[in-house]
């Protein structure tokens, strides 16, 4: 898959995850979804933010934090093709792990 196709796929994953994470119930969050999202955020921070910790700002902004860190994996934000591919993998893994 070429870089532009990966970028398009990542844009779609960002949209899907924003909707899915925003719609998680309290029960789903307490049932492990919160930890899955926080783990994905940490992996993305390692990839694009030099490992700086992602602050825990509460459940209301999880989708926004995820969208921002995934956007940092896009070529239009200066990411290399390998970073886009890895960000796409992280996004897909998270989407599949969520209820």
Q: Give how far the C-alpha of residue 19 lies from the chain's centroid of Cα atoms, to the nearest Å.
A: 12
pLDDT band at 33 (very low <50, low <70, confident <90, very high): very high
Mean pLDDT of 2-14: 93
- Give counts: helices (H), strands (E), the chain: 5, 0
| Number of domains, the chain | 1
* Per-residue pLDDT tens over the stretch 65-83: 999 999 999 999 999 999 9
Instruction: Provide the residue range defining the domain that includes 42.
Output: 3-97
Q: What is the pLDDT of residue 98?
A: 96
pLDDT band at 51 (very low <50, low <70, confident <90, very high): confident
Q: Which of 14-23, 31-40, 48-57 has the least mean pLDDT?
A: 48-57
Using CA atoms in the order 43, 70, 12, 97, what is the torsion angle rounded to 10 degrees?
A: 20
Percent of the chain with pLDDT over 70: 100
């Amino acid at each position: 898959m070429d870089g532009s196709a990966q970028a398009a796929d990542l844009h779609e994953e960002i949209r899907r995850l924003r909707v899915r994470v925003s719609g998680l119930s309290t029960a789903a969050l307490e049932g492990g979804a919160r930890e899955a999202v926080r783990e994905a955020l940490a992996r993305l921070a390692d990839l694009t933010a030099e490992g700086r910790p992602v602050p825990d700002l509460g459940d209301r902004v999880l989708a926004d934090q995820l969208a921002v860190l995934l956007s940092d994996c896009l070529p239009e934000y200066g990411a290399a093709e390998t970073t886009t591919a890895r960000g796409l993998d992280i996004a897909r893994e998270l989407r599949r792990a969520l209820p």
